[in-house]
Structure 1
């Protein structure tokens, strides 16, 4: 499902070049739960952004289900990312003026490939899957942090992606909410067969992952 070959990311700063990612190779099989662990500043989020089609590598390839995503044109990459990759960011980042079902429906509405009635039906089903079937009309400000994260997960799944990327999805949650969100992600991974790559600083959260990639100063530990 996912293969990275020779990935590099270099940033130019006032004090010279900084190599954030240095020649990374990794593979994740279809339907697997994989984790990328490491301390803050080790390069986890930079690597995930390249895998998710959000940040262009300085060198190397990212292949998702056989497609070399960084060989695509900008418009083709945007379409591929919308259809094939779900992204759960470190913070929920919901649009405050939209209620829960509207936030979940947004990716499908932007893609413009389904009828509005079908989109709302699918969004309602996803909210039910994440345990929020009684919160369709709730605005983000009316939801707890854990509930907002559930909406964000449902939104990431709206276009039925083959790959779900989660960047520290529990970092701002209390312990109980963290357990609930992790249980939800693993349940969705198993029931839907969606390949899951989780970025976390916590080895405990990665306990059930296979494989686990350990990042250290922009490289993968042997």
Structure 2
């Protein structure tokens, strides 16, 4: 698959000829410097940015052939996202932030959504903060809330795009450990991009990306 952008300086090839297959339940780390194409690749896999060329299949479904409404539903059901910043809604309580994706999913009732949110927050050792607001908890705790939010619809694929880049070293280790345990305990497929090779060591497979392509 590939992704190109038109700019004032001409065509920019952000991702070039990437052929990536990830078996269900595997933890894959994609390592590369800033500007190497990591985030563009993840956006295509996650159904957020249409490839210029190539095919993306998730759980056997060719996602970019879906109508927008179906893709949005599929993405909500099958994928969870943990981005570089937690992006929690400041006016909502922690439990509301976690429950929100489930509330937007018409298949879940409000009571079931909040019950699942409470379970996830307990699992991530955040039960004492369900009624807190984002500004009342630490950066590491906010990242754990973001992980809970990503898991609320029980996705088969979890995409983590630089999930620890703004955290101190100890909190980085804690968050990667959390993601690793979720992969092992829940069997969720995990694709993580990072610039930190040391953090990537927990993965089953490490891939390197440079100039938009995977390199040996």
Residue deviations 1:34-69, cap 9 Å, x none? 100011110000000000000010011111110000
Residue equivalent to 1:90: 84
Alignment equivalent of 1:124, drawn from 118, 121, 125? 118
Residue equivalent to 1:101: 95
**2: CA distance between counterparts of 1:121 and 1:180?**
25
Residue equivalent to 2:23: 29
**2: CA distance between counterparts of 1:140 and 1:30?**
33
Give 1:208 deviation, angstroms.
2.0
**1: CA distance between counterparts of 2:155 and 2:103?**
15
- From the two aligned structures, give the one with the greater helix fraction: 2
Give 1:213 deviation, angstroms.
1.1
User: What's the Cα RMSD here?
Assistant: 0.7
Alignment equivalent of 1:42, drawn from 32, 36, 39? 36
5+ residue gaps, structure 2: none
Residue equivalent to 2:7: 13
**2: CA distance between counterparts of 1:93 and 1:188?**
21
Residue equivalent to 2:206: 212
Alignment equivalent of 2:59, drawn from 61, 65, 90? 65
TM-score with structure 2 setting the length:
0.99
SS in 1 for 2:165: coil
Does residue 111 (structure 1) correspond to residue 89 (structure 2)? The answer is no
Paired positions, count: 216
**1: CA distance between counterparts of 2:125 and 2:177?**
12
5+ residue gaps, structure 1: 1-6
Residue equivalent to 1:53: 47
**1: CA distance between counterparts of 2:80 and 2:109?**
21
What are the within-5 Å matches in structure 2 for residues 66-215 of structure 1? 66-215=60-209
Give 1:210 deviation, angstroms.
2.0
**2: CA distance between counterparts of 1:185 and 1:210?**
13
Contact 1:89 1:168 in 2 (8 A): yes
**2: CA distance between counterparts of 1:150 and 1:210?**
22
SS in 1 for 2:16: strand
Residue equivalent to 1:3: none
SS in 2 for 1:24: coil
**1: CA distance between counterparts of 2:35 and 2:108?**
40
**2: CA distance between counterparts of 1:114 and 1:18?**
42
TM-score with structure 1 setting the length:
0.96
Runs of 4+ in structure 1 over 6 Å off: none
